[in-house]
């Protein structure tokens, strides 16, 4: 006998109880999907952010990632131009590749001699036009507008610094940065330094006051360990979400950085940043890159790293959300298990005489079991379908509700979006998972129903 319509009718019999169970399942499915959609959105948002700034893959000196931090200049890629040419020309990579651009990382000391202050900074040189193209990447269609780099259209000696750098270097006023206090205590000058240096500083200060007041000196060690200085013009101070970074970061034109680090030597890059059209192309692209490097640059200590390796926090955050999601899903699974099980137990008790009757007229024990399991699974299916629909609706409302939030590490609030629609794996998983859980939770009551003795069941009142 076709048990589905029978199960459906039985569910409609005690509408109130079925509705309560459905409601619990809807709330559960909604919790899973909304949180899942939120976590998914964060993961993709982070990924988008990383990919826009540092690409999907980077070609680096084999030891740069682990050892290059202290002295980036020593791990430069002299052949970076040729590598980029080979990569761009490759017919396998071409359809995947969006941007291939060199970067040069460096560390140094930035000083505002006019104010008599300096601090260590990290940063690097970038090819601005190519970086701007990287910032266009939006494979997950985030509702964001992309602003070009502050270095765009600036003179070769331009530099962009973190607001923290600007604060320490006392450039807040000249750069007109908001929320950027000046220190309460004047830093010690004059007394503790030799007269000639104090005089020099004073002179510089006087000069600077006359000019626009936004020039800094950047002192860096060149590839041989000797100091080199560049005078750079601060065009903007950009707040960074993480204070440590905000207090340290400088960004300049690639050529200027090369000149600072390599002077008259062969200019190098510390990394070649590759951005692909889609993140899932990483494995294929990587395989091809390794082939190309081995073929064209044999013996060179090169390596290819993906963005997840370069940004270990990405994996950690994804893992953390995964764990929370799993916990929530488990919790809701257990709640659904008990709710459906309870509902089905009550149904079995209520319908004991009916069970006896069905058995008397010839339905086997297995038939009774099937009847209740199907009923539970149908309840589960109805609940999870309704839950999915409601979650989609709720997500739509949230996405169109104009809500915004500031993710950790971000400076500006972003629209609060929840990705439920289109996340077919999650939707299908929730649907099938909850239906399965409901079917399983009906199993025990169904088993109990099937094991009833017919005469006892018929005598039940």
Piece in contact with other proteins (CB under 8 A), picked from 21-29, 138-146, 215-223, 357-365: 357-365
259 vs 369 by CB, closer to other proteins: 369
Helix (H, G, I), strand (E, B) or coil at 255: helix
229: β partners: 219
Shortest approach of other proteins to residue 340 CB, angstroms? 19
Does 454 participate in binding other proteins (rule CB under 8 A)? yes
Whether 162 contacts 301, CB under 8 Å:
no
Q: For residues 82-102, b (16+ Cβ closer than 10 Å) or e, as one string?
A: ebbebbeebeebeebbbbbbb
12 vs 210 by CB, closer to other proteins: 12
- Tell me, what DSSP letter sits at residue 75? G
Total residues at the site for other proteins (CB under 8 A)?
24
- The token pair at 424 is 């077919």
Q: In the stretch 250-289, what mask flags binding to other proteins with x, by CB under 8 A?
A: ----------------------------------------
Q: In the stretch 309-348, what mask flags binding to other proteins with x, by CB under 8 A?
A: ----------------------------------------
Report the C-alpha gap between 324 and 312 in whole angstroms.
19
Shortest approach of other proteins to residue 364 CB, angstroms? 4
Whether 348 contacts 448, CB under 8 Å:
yes
Burial of 202 (0-12, 13-18, 19+ CB in 10 A): middle
363 vs 416 by CB, closer to other proteins: 363
Cβ contacts of 371 within 8 Å, gap of 6 or more? 3, 6, 7, 358, 363, 446, 449
Residue with tokens 């959300």: 321
Whether 275 contacts 285, CB under 8 Å:
no
Shortest approach of other proteins to residue 359 CB, angstroms? 7
- Tell me, what DSSP letter sits at residue 68? G
Report the C-alpha gap between 37 and 30 in whole angstroms.
10
Q: Give which of 424, 413, 419 is closest to 399, Cα–Cα.
A: 419
Shortest approach of other proteins to residue 357 CB, angstroms? 4
Shortest approach of other proteins to residue 428 CB, angstroms? 31
Whether 418 contacts 398, CB under 8 Å:
yes
Residue in 33, 272, 358, 427 binding other proteins, rule: CB under 8 A: 358
- The token pair at 307 is 């963005």
9 vs 243 by CB, closer to other proteins: 9
Whether 212 contacts 203, CB under 8 Å:
no
Does 349 participate in binding other proteins (rule CB under 8 A)? no
Shortest approach of other proteins to residue 399 CB, angstroms? 42
Q: Which of residues 12-41 bind other proteins (CB under 8 A)?
A: 12-13
Whether 435 contacts 381, CB under 8 Å:
yes
Shortest approach of other proteins to residue 344 CB, angstroms? 16
Report the C-alpha gap between 400 and 419 in whole angstroms.
12
Shortest approach of other proteins to residue 444 CB, angstroms? 20
Shortest approach of other proteins to residue 449 CB, angstroms? 14
Residue in 79, 130, 246, 354 binding other proteins, rule: CB under 8 A: 354
Residue in 9, 62, 88, 224 binding other proteins, rule: CB under 8 A: 9
367 vs 415 by CB, closer to other proteins: 367
Q: Which of residues 359-378 bind other proteins (CB under 8 A)?
A: 359-367
Piece in contact with other proteins (CB under 8 A), picked from 5-13, 290-298, 299-307, 434-442: 5-13
Q: What angle, rounded to 10 degrees, do the helices at 352-360 and 365-399 form?
A: 130
Report the C-alpha gap between 271 and 254 in whole angstroms.
12
Relative to beta strand 117-126, strand 249-253 is: parallel
Q: Which of residues 398-427 bind other proteins (CB under 8 A)?
A: none
Shortest approach of other proteins to residue 374 CB, angstroms? 14
66 vs 461 by CB, closer to other proteins: 461
- The token pair at 362 is 């010839």
Does 6 participate in binding other proteins (rule CB under 8 A)? yes
Positions in the binding site for other proteins (CB under 8 A) = 1, 6, 9-10, 12-13, 353-354, 356-367, 453-455, 458
């Amino acid at each position: 006998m076709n048990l589905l319509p029978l199960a459906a009718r039985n569910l409609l019999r005690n509408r109130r109880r079925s509705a309560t169970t459905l409601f619990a399942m809807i709330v559960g499915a909604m919790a899973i999907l909304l949180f899942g959609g939120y976590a998914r959105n964060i993961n993709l948002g982070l990924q988008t952010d990383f990919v826009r700034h540092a690409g999907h893959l980077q070609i680096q000196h084999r030891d740069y990632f682990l050892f290059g931090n202290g002295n980036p200049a020593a791990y430069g890629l002299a052949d970076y131009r040729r590598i980029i040419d080979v990569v761009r020309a490759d017919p396998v990579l071409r359809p995947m590749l969006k941007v291939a651009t060199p970067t040069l990382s460096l560390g140094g000391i930035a000083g505002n001699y006019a104010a008599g202050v300096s601090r260590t900074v990290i940063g690097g040189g970038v090819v601005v036009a190519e970086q701007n193209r990287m910032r266009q990447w939006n494979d997950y269609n985030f509702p964001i507008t992309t602003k070009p780099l502050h270095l765009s259209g600036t003179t070769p000696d331009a530099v962009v610094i973190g607001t923290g750098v600007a604060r320490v270097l006392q450039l807040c006023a000249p750069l007109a940065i908001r929320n950027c206090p000046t220190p309460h205590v004047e830093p010690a000058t004059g007394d503790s330094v030799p007269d000639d240096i104090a005089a020099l500083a004073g002179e510089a200060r006087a000069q600077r006051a006359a000019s626009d007041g936004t020039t800094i000196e950047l002192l860096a060690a060149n590839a041989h360990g000797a100091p080199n200085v560049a005078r750079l013009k601060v065009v903007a101070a950009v707040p960074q979400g993480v204070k440590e970074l905000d207090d340290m970061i400088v960004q300049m034109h690639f050529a200027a950085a090369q000149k600072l680090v390599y002077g008259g030597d062969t200019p190098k890059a510390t990394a070649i940043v590759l951005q692909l059209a889609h993140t899932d192309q990483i494995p294929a692209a990587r395989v091809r890159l390794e082939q190309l490097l081995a073929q064209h640059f044999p013996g060179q200590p090169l390596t290819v790293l993906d963005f997840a390796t370069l940004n270990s926090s990405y994996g950690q955050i994804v893992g953390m959300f995964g764990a929370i999601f799993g916990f929530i899903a488990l919790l809701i699974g257990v709640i659904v298990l008990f709710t459906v099980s309870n509902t089905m137990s009550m149904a079995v008790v209520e319908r004991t005489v009916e069970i006896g009757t069905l058995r008397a007229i010839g339905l086997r024990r297995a038939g009774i079991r099937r009847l209740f399991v199907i009923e539970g699974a149908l309840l589960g299916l109805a609940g999870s379908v309704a839950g999915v629909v409601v979650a989609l609706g709720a997500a739509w409302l949230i996405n169109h509700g104009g809500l915004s939030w500031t993710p950790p590490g971000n400076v500006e609030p972003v629209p609060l979006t929840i990705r439920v629609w289109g996340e077919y794996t999650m939707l299908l998983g929730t649907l099938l998972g909850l239906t399965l859980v409901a079917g399983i939770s009906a199993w025990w009551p169904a088993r109990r129903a099937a094991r009833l003795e017919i005469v006892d069941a018929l005598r039940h009142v």
